[in-house]
Amino acid sequence: MIESKPTSETDIDNLLGEWKRSMLTFWALSLVLIRPMYGLEIKKEIEASTQGKIRLGISTVYQLLRRLEKKGFIKSRWEQTTQGPPRAYYEATPAGREVVRRYLAEVFVPGSPIAAALGVLMQKLFQQFPPGPL
């Protein structure tokens, strides 16, 4: 039997951070699938769509974009701007499109086993932890 150690606040924060990074990865990849975007634009889109509840450091966004590009899920191209220096625009590759397509089909599409199970789980969790102000 494996003996467990007491869970620390750091352990809890680390696990929550992993979940948030995974969601952020899907979110950013989905945004650049819809249309090419530059890093600051991705940051602003995520922050605006959450009414500022999620705040991102620009370095977090660019680290994520570099990781996705290195793995072949997105590609970048530089474009001149009318004001300021050129910008790197990111767009999904066919592999990136496939990741989003499969994630939607396996997790979010109504009727998928995961979506159904998560729906039941959410109902039970909200009974124990009623949603309130963030």
Q: In CATH, what number is assigned to the domain containing residue 106?
A: 1.10.10.10
2 domain-assigned: no
Say which amino acid occupies 108: F
pLDDT value at position 79?
Answer: 93
47 domain-assigned: yes
pLDDT digits (tens, 9 = 90+) for 68-88: 999 999 999 999 988 888 999
63 domain-assigned: yes
Q: What angle do CA 2, 7, 12 make, to 5 degrees?
A: 125
30 domain-assigned: yes
Number of domains in the chain: 1
99 domain-assigned: yes
Per-block mean pLDDT, blocks of 10 residues, the chain (134 long): 76 84 91 96 93 89 96 96 91 96 85 80 87 64
95 domain-assigned: yes
Domain span at residue 119 reads 13-128
pLDDT value at position 133?
Answer: 62
pLDDT value at position 38?
Answer: 96
Element (H, E) at 37: strand 37-38
6 domain-assigned: no
